[in-house]
Amino acid sequence: MDGQADLSGALIAELRAVLGDRVSLADSVRAHHGKDESYHTLLPPDAVVFPRSTEEVAAVVRACVRHQTPIIPFGVGTSLEGGVGAPHGGVSVDMSGLDRILRISAEDMDATVEAGVTRKRLNADLRDTGLFFAVDPGADATLGGMAATRASGTNAVRYGTMRHNVLNVKAVLADGRIISTAQRARKSAAGYDLTGLLVGSEGTLGIITEVTVRLFGVPEAISAAVCSFPSVDDAVKCCILTIQSGIPVARIELLDSVQMDACIRYSKLDYEAAPTLFFEFHGTPDGVKEQAELVQRNATDFGASDFKWAVRPEDRNALWLARHDALYAALALRPGSVAWSTDVCVPVSRLADCIAETRSDIEKSGLLAPIVGHVGGGNFHVIFLIDPHIPEEWNAARRVNERMVLRALDMEGTCTGEHGVGIGKRRYMAAEHGEAIAVMRTLKQALDPANLMNPGKLLPD
């Protein structure tokens, strides 16, 4: 597929035949659908459609295929690597109209939702069941988008990523066929893992229209703790020991001293501007108390000071406030700046080194860039705070990012732990996957021979 697609009048007519006035060519609508929350350039689609069912999505796909026109799924636009842009033009498929919660089973602890349902909406609907959907990437993303990008977040260390939380998906493939990837059983040894293949495929193999996810019981008790360490290395070692001990921590977040400085200024907190771990514990009242005591003992062994522990919701919230407001705090460090958030993930034994070397690169570059990490899984984020009017800052950030990615690969890590590939990380896919990239191309070619499903994403040219 080369160059810009030309949206034919015939295609628009076919789309209108299916969707009526739920087809938009308006500039503002196209612009809204051509950019996510990332630093990537606006790449507007030629049209935006608003289907309300799997069958309508399939009809859209068939029409686009007849006209050899790219198809780009859109959730709520919270992706971070340019996954929703239209580098080759085409039709953006806005999934917000597929917004039904189809089934909740308290006994099976699972739910089936249409792809446009957001995670907060699902959790609101679950309120009376004693269950919750655990994956929490921060943004209120759609379940379809989260599945497509294999989203993750702060509590993956306890509850897993979308890879572990999706039981099956319904998807429309590149030829308009509708498939279900698996039954609803908790496990199966019956054939190829099509669920796993679609989860994380970023719309390049098909459009996910329904998702069945695991749910977990709302813990009887939740408590939180915060403590600061002499160095990132000490904080990471405390985290490793905690996980080795089998303490089932629900969240362990690392904020480096630059990020803590930002949070202290922003939220007027009484903390040190030192590397800091935020913990959350889920369990019974006795269980969370025991977890916190064990963690405190580990933390003290690694020089931690100022261990603050909180059980009451208002105290917990106060403790976690700094973490939740990390991005706003970072932006407030430099009014007028924009944030470029990037992530890598390495084996946790290499995490402290990877962060230290990246921090050193940042200092040398003269950039301002706090670091926040889902440290239990070896995943961390750098938030470059860039003056959008200074091109050299973009270039410096690009260089630091590239060195960080290559460093992570060198440490047996990945170019993205949870943000996805989109447009931004394509250039690293060959370095990360070697010969396996050819296998990915073979799969793409087999399932989307005309390269119409979200072209220009995930796989390098």
97 or 377: CB nearest a copy of itself? 377
Among 37, 55, 108, 125, binds a copy of itself (CB under 8 A): 108
d(CA 321, CA 87): 38
User: Percentage helix, strand, coil, to 5, in the chain?
Assistant: 40, 20, 40
The H or E element containing residue 385 is strand 379-386
Strand, coil or helix: what is 47?
A: strand
Quote the tokens at residue 315: 């105290």
CB of 459 to a copy of itself, least distance (A): 7
- Number of residues engaging a copy of itself in binding (CB under 8 A): 100
Binding segment toward a copy of itself, per CB under 8 A, in 47-55, 57-65, 192-200, 389-397: 192-200
Among 42, 222, 243, 338, binds a copy of itself (CB under 8 A): 243
316 or 374: CB nearest a copy of itself? 374
Among 105, 123, 231, 296, binds a copy of itself (CB under 8 A): 105
Residues 22-41 that bind a copy of itself (CB under 8 A): none
Asked if 378 interacts with a copy of itself (CB under 8 A), we say yes
Among 65, 109, 311, 338, binds a copy of itself (CB under 8 A): 109
Residue 45 backbone class (left: φ over 0; alpha: ψ -120 to 50; beta: rest): beta
Residues 162-181 that bind a copy of itself (CB under 8 A): 163-164, 173, 177-181
Among 24, 38, 54, 379, binds a copy of itself (CB under 8 A): 379
35 or 237: CB nearest a copy of itself? 237
Asked if 327 interacts with a copy of itself (CB under 8 A), we say no
Q: What is the dihedral of CA 199, 201, 207, 213, to 10 degrees?
A: 10
CB of 168 to a copy of itself, least distance (A): 9
Among 121, 196, 308, 325, binds a copy of itself (CB under 8 A): 196
Show the site string, 420-459: x = touches a copy of itself by CB under 8 A, - = not. xx---x--xx--xxxxxxxxx-xxxxxx----------xx
Beta bridge partners of 192: none
Among 199, 295, 326, 339, binds a copy of itself (CB under 8 A): 199
CB of 30 to a copy of itself, least distance (A): 27
Beta bridge partners of 178: 172
H helical segments located in 21-118? 27-32, 54-66
10 or 439: CB nearest a copy of itself? 439
Residue 232 backbone class (left: φ over 0; alpha: ψ -120 to 50; beta: rest): alpha
96 or 195: CB nearest a copy of itself? 195
CB of 444 to a copy of itself, least distance (A): 8
Binding segment toward a copy of itself, per CB under 8 A, in 23-31, 43-51, 359-367, 375-383: 375-383
Residues 286-315 that bind a copy of itself (CB under 8 A): 286-287, 290, 294
Strand, coil or helix: what is 344?
A: strand
12, 20 contact by CB (below 8 A): no
96 or 149: CB nearest a copy of itself? 149
Binding segment toward a copy of itself, per CB under 8 A, in 15-23, 40-48, 53-61, 285-293: 285-293
Asked if 156 interacts with a copy of itself (CB under 8 A), we say yes
Select from 446, 444, 450, 447 the least CA-distant residue to 426. 444
Q: How many CB atoms lie within 10 A of CB 423?
A: 20
Query: DSSP letter string over 232-258?
Result: HHHHHHHHHHHHHTT---SEEEEE-HH
Residues 123-142 that bind a copy of itself (CB under 8 A): 130-131
CB of 337 to a copy of itself, least distance (A): 26
CA distance to 22, 54, 94, 423, per residue, from 459 (Å) = 31, 26, 23, 9
Select from 123, 121, 126 the least CA-distant residue to 104. 126
Select from 369, 383, 276, 382 the least CA-distant residue to 321. 276
CB of 411 to a copy of itself, least distance (A): 9
| Helices and strands of the chain, counted as H and E runs | 17, 18
